Structure 1
Amino acid sequence: MSTLTICNLSKTYPNGVKALDNVTLKLENGMFGLLGPNGAGKSSLMRTLATLQEADLGSATLDHIDILNQPADIRKVLGYLPQEFGVYPNITAEQLLNHLAILKGIVNNSQRKTLVAHLLDKVNLYQKRNKSVKGFSGGMKQRVGIAQALIGNPKLIIVDEPTAGLDPGERNRFYNLLADVGKEVIVILSTHIVDDVQELCTKMAIMNYGKIVYQGSPQNAINELKGKVYQKVVHRDNLEDYIKDHRIISNKMVGGQPLIHVFSEEHPKNGFKQVNPNLEDVFFSKINSLNITS
């Protein structure tokens, strides 16, 4: 069992943007969802943990390894699938993994060949091992990305926005693969897609403007909203009035008209219907700073 401890991590970019604002988290083996809108600071946190950028303040340790001061040591036990996983042109899946295994220090030819075959089988690409990766679908490329992240038996795997652009079938295959990987190591799934976290993670955090605005289980967060979420389809011309009069969690277009979700301790009447809250309601309630508590 490994433990990742992040304490008061802060990072301000030269342009003045505070990407990380006293981020504190404690993670153990399993799938951990880091949810937030684009620009919330998720990728900055992932890049810092992956030793691709430095923090200004704070600390991060994986068991006995000081991530910020021992980058070479953490890289030995780190698997990283960035948001954009580039591939070499005209190289097969087998060649790519073989090359990356050499870069990770696996120099024994027989050992490396066995490992590459095992990883390709694990991500269900062994039959495609001699095909050029650049011709793979988005989902297949992401599976190659997970395979390379597993080289070297990592203790920590960071996966940044892995399902963006995948069709529903590819997304489900990727979910199953990640769930399998997450049984034995710490996997951080950084995403703005609520369904990713709801499908995969028993623990999560929500990030906004560089801060952690919620940490706990998805179900506990949903339970906080139970009996307090109402919805109504409203006319677009009247939306501003509803925003003034109600605590709007979210609104989205349905059939050309806004469908609004509001938080209320009492039934707001006026055509509103009580609905069971979901993780999307939690997400928007937290990033819209409604400070909702049970």
Structure 2
Amino acid sequence: MDWNDYHTLDVIHNFLDDLEYDYPSICTAGSIGKSLEGRDLKMIKISNSETTNSCVWIDAGIHAREWIAPAVATYIANHIVNNFDTLPTSVTNKDWYILPVVNPDGYVYSHTVDRMWRKNRALVRGQCVGVDLNRNFSYGWGGNGSSCMPNNAFYRGPAPFSEPESRAMRDMLVNSGISFKVYITLHSFGQVIIFPFAFKEDLCPDYVRLLEGATVMSKAIHEASGNTYKVGISRDIMYGAAGTSNDWSYGEAGIPFCYLIELRSRKHKFKLPQEEIEETGKEILNCVKALMEFVDKYPMDKLKI
């Protein structure tokens, strides 16, 4: 495994297993479910097993063609594991749950058939058109920014959580008994940091707190690479979207700190050169570290959610 190229699903999954094998005291790899085509949704947990740890979720690859997202997720996992003894307490006092490829079927398809494939591989009337997994979550499902038309890129599916991939995430985030404090989902492209809500005009109750956290993250990226990531709600800096994992994680799962990070780059769109993988990993790692410090310093009695 390296960050000089975009790797196949098998390489990514084997990498997670290797981390567990090499660092059994802090790493546990396992599947949280199966995709439509029977592939594992493989996740790694990184933890020193302290009972006082808070829990952080990072996912990537919910859209198949966004290859930089799984690459950055694995970069973060690798850095935390290999530097665990020297990292700041704000990183090591967390249980990290990292799911690099939410959409394994689509990811494989984008590597083997259609580089620009976005959705999963769901069948509609016998034809594989796919469901946009990031329109398949129940919070705000069916609203503007999603489509009921199967051939549309934003097709939301026939019902909330109709897809096994989104159901597996739901079950981990709300039915596992784990209380998550931070939710981060990695996408591309756009170089923006988004927080709820994406499906409606109303500001969320924690708008100011989430804006503060996003600003801290954006500043950390700029310090790391000089790149500027805009911050705000989706409708202000991108477009509206309904049924997203980020809105659901905040609005339904009740996770206090929820962010969607659109990675590089506006110039290269979905085909970011492999030469920029490691640079992107470094700037987002810096951003995630900064968020962990912010989260630890934020007074718990001020949390509305």
Which structure: greater strand fraction? 1
Tell me whether the two structures share a fold, i.e. TM-score over 0.5: no
Structure 2 length-normalised TM: 0.28
Structure 1 length-normalised TM: 0.29
Tell me which structure has the larger Cα radius of gyration: 1
